[in-house]
Amino acid sequence: MHITVYGAGAWGTALAIAYAKSHPVTLWGRDADTLLRCAAERVNQALLPGAPFPPGLVVEADLHRASRSADLHLVVTPVAGLRAVARHLAAEGHTTPLIWACKGFESGTGKLPHQVVADELGADFPCGVLTGPSFAAEVAAGLPAAITLAARDAAFASAWTQHLHQPRLRLYANDDLIGAEVGGAVKNVMAIAAGVSDGLGFGLNSRAALITRGLAEMARLGAALGARPETFMGLAGMGDLVLTCTGDLSRNRRVGLALAEGKSLDRILKDLGHVAEGVLTTRETVALAQRHQVEMPITESVDALLSGTLSAREAVERLLARDPRSE
């Protein structure tokens, strides 16, 4: 099985490395110069130093050549890049399955990734999402991880879980596509909030409360969009949320930590050197919550912080000042 991975960021590179140990893999990215260096050095030195490319991993800068022989298209760009890849596949008449590993809502439309794919390839195109608690550096190093492959078609999810399951990268099938996508998107917002709380020195009790109430917000929005509540108790919900809110490899948590120090968002993102999906996802999450009349106070506070309306301490104090209520 030939897999083409679209997106040579840290997560795309990590998945390419993981699957190239047992399948021929082509890695494509937008930056041709970066790809040339990766091909020459056989490592993504900028993002995953110390994780050499297996022999089965080929780097390709031409999108047409990268996609033409794929048995599976695995899109690991930021959400902003998903539509362009799907549009390319549609233009070239591809019918082989598409799985994405990007998390968030499309900026400007608020659409989930499966809605973007449906726009470009049709609602019946064979597709699904790969999501769950997973840091790129650990997957690239071959450390154990467990993630979810979700699709509307349960048979598709089950079949591709078998194809992509590996001893150190365990996959679990799920047919709640919306729930898996909402979990992957909203957990990044909560990770920013957790970083702020930790950066202000509010302690472990505060972090635990924030994660728990963040999970409630995530589940409320998911239910409004048609997800099943139990999905948020699994890898795509609670698992990913806990990892991203507590792990120091989390980009979104690092954004929150830096905001607590009083740094500007522009400076934080420049220093980060990676995409932190939670920054763009927050605004779209607030818009969706308002549209569906879902109460999401943590998300709204993060949005106010990112927009400069509130300082980090003011955002936390506003949450603490909310009236007591039933859980």
Catalytic-labelled residue, pool 21, 103, 111, 187: 187
Q: Which 3 state secondary structure label does DSSP give 73?
A: strand
Q: How many CA atoms lie within 13 A of 268 on its CB side?
A: 21
Give the pairing type, strands 145-150 and 127-131. Answer: antiparallel
CA distance 150 to 132: 10
- Strand boundaries in the chain, DSSP class E: 3-6, 25-28, 57-59, 72-75, 98-100, 127-131, 145-150, 169-174
Residue 157 Cα distances to 67, 95, 160, 247, 267, angstroms: 22, 17, 5, 28, 40
270 given a catalytic annotation: no
Residue type, 75: V
Crossing angle of helices 297-306 and 312-320, rounded to 10°: 160
Cα-based torsion angle of the residue sequence 199, 205, 208, 214 in order, rounded to the nearest 10 degrees: -70
Q: Catalytic residue numbers?
A: 187
